[in-house]
Structure 1
């Protein structure tokens, strides 16, 4: 009886703290909330609204419909958090370039890895980014091409076993190739298959847990979240990832392993030896961010890309033609950076995939000091967002905006990225890697890898599927998800 009474008391105390926080937020943002269009609900109102949805796809669509109902920008309550949401490229440019908006908001705190570049606080981010820029310089990325190439060739061998055997879910095959390459370039050596599989499993479970937590504002409070089984599971998956990183870091510092000098972890050691002594937690967060963020976002984009190729025979044919023009019709591909740079149509296909199925459906920031957005529509002469406002740039909505991409904005059409068409569009209409001062440091890494895997896979295989484009339904997560499987069939092209 005593234990149940104690738990009830703890719950009431936490509930009081939550309601107090909601009330204080409501008072602070009430005038702004009344001024800006959006669903006029009290705190917690949107949560009830979202969770009336029948499925994950419907839930995601509800959020996207808000952007259509309130075009360009709107505000709303999510739990006790006040959000300003936009899919307007002009507003997005201001939010991504103003120094008051460099800080990531509470959503990214839930992601964890607080010392990694994605989540790092703005007061430390600039100096840390400068230290790590060399880790993603062009010479370093060029040195990764043989590692990418080897990982992809192993993936080709695996897919050959599935030729002429009907449709299958390609997701794990692609994810394994990506994680193999990410681990090898991060640690500068080959990693065993068992380790790769365990890292994939832990990163996927970890991201699922973080997303589930982000959908329940009560769990934003560590005091409540720490009492849940989700917290125990999250800690377990993080420990597995960190244990592997710790072992590698310790062996490399002891000089007991020979690794590629351009590898990411070797760059951290070099920076550390030059006077910036990284703590164990900082190393774990930097490397963990690389494994979780780079691995998941790149594999997500590629899974959608191969599904799109399977649905669009004409596009697949044009890629084959370009590959043969650039590399010749030899059976094997001899790859270097210059030849990859010549794959212009492949790049257009990748960008069109990132437009319609950007792994990051939104960009999350927080206003650190009052910001003046000026006149952003005919009704609001001078919009000022106070300190603490949570900002969301709806990338998914921006990338499908008919005012930018035309009446067929929902269709898959790589010619959207012809140079002459893009020159007529806003510089901030395409944000798969964000933009401005916190542009993703790994954008060139991802593009090089994606070009290379497309070249190898399409050179070797013909992709097909019984799925129809109009039946593709997506769901939100830490990265964009597909409702159902990435079902494709492969046959040998030669």
Structure 2
């Protein structure tokens, strides 16, 4: 009898929970009715929405494209579990969202994997905090400071070239590890102000720890869409975060004790130097210095590595385009390259077109998100209620046929001829996001990327049997490949 009563009680509790959940969902749907009645809406399955379509990450980008085509719209409302999101690939709406003060805050669900990790500085800070912190760190990305980093960029590019050259004649090889190793070394030097010997135990541990951190954040991002984010916060992950935080804290402590803070040199422009300057001026606390330095380190490293690898892969898959890039570089550097200077970058328009097309089809940042902090107009007739989140799938934006033509999926640098750029909306291309809250490391990534490619292509030739049409991209902190194409490397004769 008691067992029967227990089962009945359990059934009643389940029914009550379902009724309560149904009531909450109906209230939420009512709250967002001003959006769902004005925009095409994918409601999906009750309590699940379309989240089940996100389980296979290898089909995520395909499913987004199919959804846009099915709804026959560039802006829609999509329910993920019990949360609605506005998803848009309309360049005019994107411009409004990324430039309007009403949408300065990041979408909370899309960036939780940042805010719960060590990388929770200006990437995810609330608008009021972000404004002052961005101002404090912006000198790192100022033109003059980027110019001062050219020796480090050239040294790094030469290092990448030498490591790749060591693989020549060995058939197709994994080069992603080399790109990561050199990217880590550059970020440590230019942002943290330290040089770690390659192949040392410390260098290996740093690379392993940072790779594990980024990989775990990627898992956190995917699990978050399913409401299972807690599964990614393992003891191992927490140990990695602590190790990396301790590294930054040690650097801060050493600098504080070794420098007279009242006589801080104005020309010190590594990121940690700027953070300590902000600390002296009372703008930052020591914790702020730690967070912002680590955030800049992660942003610069991740975007640079992703973009560099993508461009090398695209060169290998497009031999005719690679030859044209090589001939242009050789016209500027007829002999062996000693150093690439800023003025040299202005002489390579086809290289710029090639890079732009590579990042169109494989943007390092696949999604960005904003959130309305008050009732705000999205477009004529559509008012978003407070708290509504907007997702901009950059990967899909860069492949829309109505923007890029019927062959949008093909690799074609001519998309970036001046006359073709002029025809497109300026917010139809945004590999590092756009607006005031764009990727903080984009200038760093753009310059370092160009210098890497100039050194590499002038000395080396790349090829692969991996077909362009067989590439499968998967979402991560920056864009990743389901299978990383291996490359064959040959040394060019001068």
Q: TM above 0.5, one fold?
A: yes
Distance 1:440 1:39 in 2: 30
1:418 corresponds to: 417
TM-score by length of 2: 0.88
1:444 corresponds to: 443
**Contact 2:252 / 2:290 at 8 angstroms: preserved in 1?**
no
**Contact 1:67 / 1:397 at 8 angstroms: preserved in 2?**
no
What secondary structure, in the 3-state scheme, does the structure 1 residue paired with 2:111 have? Answer: helix
1:44 corresponds to which of 21, 39, 48: 48
Q: CA deviation at 1:353?
A: 1.1
1:213 corresponds to: 220
Gaps of 5+ in 2: 1-9
**Contact 1:178 / 1:298 at 8 angstroms: preserved in 2?**
yes
**Contact 1:188 / 1:261 at 8 angstroms: preserved in 2?**
no
Task: Report runs of 4+ in structure 1 exceeding 6 Å deviation.
Answer: 15-21, 256-260
Q: CA deviation at 1:189?
A: 3.3
1:379 corresponds to: none
Measured against aligned partners, the alpha-carbon deviations of 1:81-107 in whole angstroms (never above 9, x if no partner) come to: 221000110110111111111100122
What secondary structure, in the 3-state scheme, does the structure 2 residue paired with 1:437 have? Answer: coil
1:338 corresponds to which of 329, 343, 354: 343
**Contact 2:161 / 2:456 at 8 angstroms: preserved in 1?**
yes
Q: CA deviation at 1:471?
A: 1.1
Q: CA deviation at 1:279?
A: 2.6
Gaps of 5+ in 1: 1-7, 376-381
TM-score by length of 1: 0.88
Matches within 5 A, 1:115-194: 115-193=120-198, 194=201
Matches within 5 A, 1:285-304: 285-304=291-310
Matches within 5 A, 1:353-432: 353-375=358-380, 382-432=381-431
What secondary structure, in the 3-state scheme, does the structure 2 residue paired with 1:300 have? Answer: helix
What secondary structure, in the 3-state scheme, does the structure 1 residue paired with 2:309 have? Answer: helix
2:95 corresponds to: 93
Distance 2:88 2:307 in 1: 23
Describe the shift of the 1:416–1:26 C-alpha distance in structure 2 as closer, same or farther (beyond 3 A): same
Q: CA RMSD in A?
A: 2.6
Distance 2:232 2:58 in 1: 26
Measured against aligned partners, the alpha-carbon deviations of 1:134-182 in whole angstroms (never above 9, x if no partner) come to: 1211111111110111122222222222100000111111111112111
Distance 2:80 2:36 in 1: 12
1:276 corresponds to: 283
**Greater alpha carbon shift after TM alignment, 303-312 vs 266-275:** 266-275
Q: How many aligned residue pairs are there? A: 468
What secondary structure, in the 3-state scheme, does the structure 1 residue paired with 2:487 have? Answer: strand
**Contact 1:92 / 1:428 at 8 angstroms: preserved in 2?**
yes
Matches within 5 A, 1:203-352: 203-217=210-224, 225=230, 228=231, 230-255=233-258, 261-280=268-287, 282-327=288-333, 329-352=334-357
